Each structure stands twice: as C-alpha cells, then as structure tokens.
Amino acid sequence: MPRDRRGNRAAVAAVEPEIIDCHVHNDVYLMGGHIKGGNRKDLPAMADRLGISKMCVSSFMALHYDFVEGNNNTLRLMRELPDRVLGYCVLNPRFGDLALNELERCIVKGGMIGAKMYPVPPKWVADEPSAYPLMERLSKLRVPILIHADPVAPIFRLADRFPDATYLLAHMGGGGSDGLEGMYGCIHESKRHDNIYLDSTTSNVESNIIEEAVRVVGAERVLFGTDYPCIEPYAQLAKVKAAAVAEDERALILGGNIKRLIGRKRV
C-alpha cells in the first residue's frame, strides 16, 4: 500500500499524464457543410471532454483553398485561445517565395510551433525540388513538420535528403495494409529514419497498431492525435489509453513526445 508524506498507509492517486493533440484542424467544412468545426467554441469543448490540455492546429482552408487566409485564421485562433491552441503553418512549396515568406511570418514572427504540409498530387509531391528551400529553413528552425502521407514513398526520400528535419508522419502513413502505402509497411520503413515520428490518427481503429509502432520504432517516436473534426476523437484517444504498453510509454505518446519536439524550436 502506498504511503502519504507522513508515512501513513494511504492510497495515492496516480498523476495523469498531460495530453497534447498533435493533429487538429480549424476551418473544416466537409460533405457540403454537414461536417463542420474547428472553431473557438467546439475545439476547447472537445478538448475538455477528452482531457486534452493543448491542440496543435492547422487550417483546413489553408490545405484546400488559400494557405495565407487559412494561416491567418489559425493565428487568430491562437490569440483567442492562447492556453489551448498551438498553430501549424500550412505551406505549399509551389508558391516559391510566397511560401518562404509565409514560413517566416507564421513560425518565426507569429509564434507557430511547426509546419503542416499536404503533398497530394497534382498539388505537389513531397520530394520535388520546389520543396527544398522550405525544408532547408525548417531544418534550421528545428520545428516539427506534420506531413500527409499520400503517396508516402517520396516522404521517406525527403527524410533521407533532409535528415535534420523532423517529420510527423500523419496517420502512420495510411491504411492498415502491409505494403509501403499502408501503416504496417510505414511503421517498419520508419525504423531506419530517426527523423520520422508516427502520428497515431487513423480512420479505422486497427487492432494492436499502437503496440506495433512502439515495438518497432519505440514509444519515443509515437504521437497522439485525433484529426478532429475530420475523425471521431474519442476512438483515437481510447486506442492509446487501451494499448498494452507501459505507463511511461503511454505518457510519452499522449503528450511527452510532442512537447519535447516543440521545445527544440530555434528562432
């Protein structure tokens, strides 16, 4: 039986780990508006329900429409919810100097904690030369880059070309298949890339996926995320809380890892 500070036998409540969601969106409108969210009301409400202390947020508008306008919305949300929202700057390398200027405006001057990149053809491909200037700058800043995996092979090539950059591989790379375009293949390919971390958000709730990621790359490289409001957040948290991993490993996944990566930023 545990004892209190006076030496009396007493049950001592366990300290709950801080939960930081590494993958959240604002400005979300899907399916003709039937799914919408990511505003200053529903984001903290979701976080309160799940016990999430902070959310790393990128603009859905910035991914699919105007990245400057979308990033402005995220900066505004950061000001409105300074204790809850950490912003990602959405970048599209095919805009050249405009993208570089946006990086400086949002990350260096605006206080965003990292970048969100969405290399989906025909928009762009992760390892195309237009991305190199951004990657050089992001590598020097030592900020995390949440990067969508579609397709995933160019991301691994990019990680080889820019080994000093830190990549958060969204959705652990994709679906539940064994090939490189699926999560299990990406988990095992990520083992040889020390600069790739695995974001736990997935559209399906695959059995033992958290355990497999911890077994292959280590708990230090697995991050909790919900992809709210695009994906049901309760299931994303439940699969981490229910995973058969050690409690110190679970604490790293739920918040310790992303907190450490955010703390490495150089400006």
Q: What is the mean pLDDT of residues 237-259?
A: 97
What is the DSSP-derived secondary structure letter of residue 54?
A: E
| pLDDT score at 3 | 44
Mean predicted lDDT score pLDDT of the chain: 91
Question: Looking at residue 13, what is its pLDDT?
Answer: 46
Alpha carbon of 188 to those of 68, 177, 182, 206, 265: distances in Å? 36, 12, 10, 16, 28
**Range 86-93 average pLDDT:** 98
Whether 4 has a pLDDT exceeding 50, the answer reads no
Q: For 55-65, what is each residue's pLDDT tens digit?
A: 999 999 999 89
pLDDT in tens, 29-70: 865 666 678 899 999 999 999 999 999 999 999 998 999 999
- pLDDT of 144 reads 98
**Cα distance between residue 103 and residue 129, in whole Å:** 17
**pLDDT, tens digit, for every residue of 146-205?**
999 888 999 999 999 999 999 999 999 875 555 667 888 999 999 999 999 999 998 877
Instruction: Give the model's pLDDT for residue 150.
Output: 83
Say which residues have a Cβ less than 8 Å from residue 184's Cβ, sequence separation at least 6: 176, 177, 178, 212
Domains of the chain, CATH where assigned: 20-262 (3.20.20.140)
